[in-house]
Amino acid sequence: MAQTRIWGTLDPFYEHGAVLGRKVANEGVLQALLARDPFDAYHFFLQSPHLAAQQRKTLETLHPDLWSQGKFKILTRQDLARELRENEYAAFHLSDCILNPAPLARLRNALGKNIFPITSVTHSLSYSEYAGRFLRHLWAGTSARDAVVATSDTGRRVVENLYAFLRRGYGLNPEAYPAPRVEVIPLGVDLQAFSPAPDSEDRRAFRKNLGIPEEATAFLVFGRISHSSKMDILPILRAFQRCIQSGTAPESLFLVLAGWLEDEAAGFAATLQNLAANIRLGMKIVPRPGEVAKKALYGASDAFISLSDNPQETFGLTILEAMASGLPVIASDYDGYKDMVEHGRTGFLVETIGPVETDMQDMLAPLCFDNHLHLLLAQETAPDVAETARRIEALAKDPDLRVRLGQAGRERAARFGWETIVEEYLALWERLGQIPIADREGLRGLAHPLETPYAEIFGGYPSRVLDDRLVVTWSRTGQAAVRGRDFPTIYEGLQNTVFAEAVRACVVMARKPVPAGDLAARLAEANSGLGLSGARYHILWCLKHDFLERVREGA
């Protein structure tokens, strides 16, 4: 009989709230995976019952066929230990590499039926506290089957540079403190949702609603409308200013700025609007467009611009969406943009100049808000404004060039369809799962160096600890519970830790005074999966709730 192949995760992948690139990307990979449906079951371990209930509703709505087949198991993190003991997993995939790869590996090593691959994906990498998060990746329990998936080659180099920096700073040698391997799989795009828009009445009507003159060349900028996040838009306006002042560009240029706009950024939006008016550039700001409006914006535009200058950006999903929509792209030669835009074929990469050192910013970073840090870093990364202006002029003057670059961009984007990307993940999980694990038992007993041993650290808090020689017996409450006249009250949140049947067994086994060590051993043997640690937990719980009592010396 074939083994059941189970895919697991700690994350919902479907997230509510503001539309951000990370959320769009996470949803895209799960949608593609479930459309492909290569596994027998999909287990989600979420942080709370509320999130689990929300996920059940989402999956039932979006994937009714898989739901009706019983392919989903929606659990909480407290179910994780039990499920790892009971199931072999083909892979666990996490929607972000920052939080949980190392803690999950520790639990897998200690409890799992198998050493399954753990993969996790990069998004933003530049937040000041992230170095500490990546330090958790460097420990002896990291297996050869663990991988961080960078979404671009530049992202891969960032992760590798972080590991090298941390090893240097803490004196960690690679053999004793291995890191996950770093693989590159890009983000994807929905090629059906984003496709070239025909010149139709709908397109013309939408352009008219945006205020785009009929003869104008409309350039779209799509992203967060902010001076400190992802991309400063002012250099783009300065490039348009050069075009207009030189008189070499067509008279009718139009700029559409669309994307997430925080309420506190209204002043910045007003600054951009005033500057556009001063340079006589037609411009429309479209804040927080929904998915329908977003696709219409691509369809209404003639070209796309994105001059990323901020290390917060790692990939640039909007570049893919623009190319899939058949738009020629002007992009900064920066971060993951390098992997997507083929200079001169699908658009143009504009040279950027960055700092050689950031000593002051490095020291200030832990003391500043992240948006201030990113502002400091981005303001010393300079895209070439003059080159940007030349590229704007070239696209504005030459409709045939726009068509040629746009068609090539659509062909290029086809390589990034989500159905292609998910095949790369499937191949990675298969490849990782085939890597031999030499010392399974050695991994099992390894504690993570940043794992807090609470009993040891806080051992001075209680009067004494539960040693094997402590003698216990059932109490009057315990006797009543055994006879059905009382019952244990197990709080919500402990249902996967304290079990009523194990409580009863514990009390029955202590009908006569018994050393705690003997009781724990008997209880663990009688309750498979409980283990000695779980048995000791039940003994202490029973003492706390007066189902057991201590037999004092001389009593």
Q: Work out the pLDDT band at 329, boundaries 50, 70, 90.
A: very high
Report the pLDDT value the prediction gives residue 87, as an integer from 0 to 100.
95
For range 366-384, the mean pLDDT: 91
Give the DSSP per-residue string, 446-472.
PPPTTS--HHHHTTTSSS----TT-EE
Give the DSSP per-residue string, 373-415.
HHHHHHTT-EE-HHHHHHHHHHHHH-HHHHHHHHHHHHHHHGG
Q: What is the pTM of this model?
A: 0.92
C-beta contacts of 51-54 below 8 A and 24+ residues apart = 51/12, 52/76, 54/12, 54/16
Report the pLDDT value the prediction gives residue 449, as an integer from 0 to 100.
93
Report the pLDDT value the prediction gives residue 198, as an integer from 0 to 100.
87
Report the pLDDT value the prediction gives residue 17, as an integer from 0 to 100.
66
Nearest to 374 by CA among 95, 206, 130: 130
- Which CATH architecture is the domain 6-188+422-444 placed in? 3-Layer(aba) Sandwich (3.40)
Domain ranges of the chain: 6-188+422-444, 201-415, 456-550
Report the pLDDT value the prediction gives residue 554, as an integer from 0 to 100.
62
What angle (nearest 5°) sits at the alpha carbon of residue 507, between those of residues 501 and 509?
100
Nearest to 339 by CA among 398, 258, 400, 421: 421
Nearest to 524 by CA among 532, 516, 513, 512: 532
Give the total residue count for the chain: 555
**In this structure, which topology does domain 201-415 adopt according to CATH?**
Rossmann fold (3.40.50)
For range 513-524, the mean pLDDT: 96
- At residue 20, does pLDDT exceed 80? no
Q: Work out the pLDDT band at 283, boundaries 50, 70, 90.
A: very high
In our burial notation (b when 16+ CB lie closer than 10 A, e otherwise), range 32-47 reads bbbeeeebebbbbbbe
C-alpha to C-alpha distance for 293 and 288, rounded to whole angstroms: 9
Sign, CA dihedral 540-542-546-552, equals negative
Q: Work out the pLDDT band at 346, boundaries 50, 70, 90.
A: very high
Note the helical H segments in 279-369.
Answer: 291-300, 317-324, 337-340, 359-364
Nearest to 132 by CA among 108, 162, 109, 161: 162
For range 156-184, the mean pLDDT: 96
Note the helical H segments in 215-303.
Answer: 234-246, 266-278, 291-300
Q: What is the chain's mean pLDDT, rounded?
A: 93
Lowest mean per-residue pLDDT among 39-48, 143-152, 411-420, 528-537: 528-537
**Around Cβ 481, how many Cβ atoms within 10 Å?**
23
For range 271-293, the mean pLDDT: 92
- Structural element, H or E, at residue 148: strand 146-150
Report the pLDDT value the prediction gives residue 244, as an integer from 0 to 100.
93
For range 383-389, the mean pLDDT: 97
C-alpha to C-alpha distance for 58 and 67, rounded to whole angstroms: 10
**Around Cβ 505, how many Cβ atoms within 10 Å?**
19
Report the pLDDT value the prediction gives residue 534, as an integer from 0 to 100.
93
Q: Do domains 6-188+422-444 and 201-415 have the same CATH topology?
A: yes
Q: For residue range 95-149, list pLDDT tens digits in order.
A: 999 999 999 999 999 999 999 999 999 999 999 999 999 999 999 999 999 999 9
Q: Work out the pLDDT band at 262, boundaries 50, 70, 90.
A: confident
What angle (nearest 5°) sits at the alpha carbon of residue 63, between those of residues 58 and 65?
140
Higher pLDDT, 226 or 489: 489
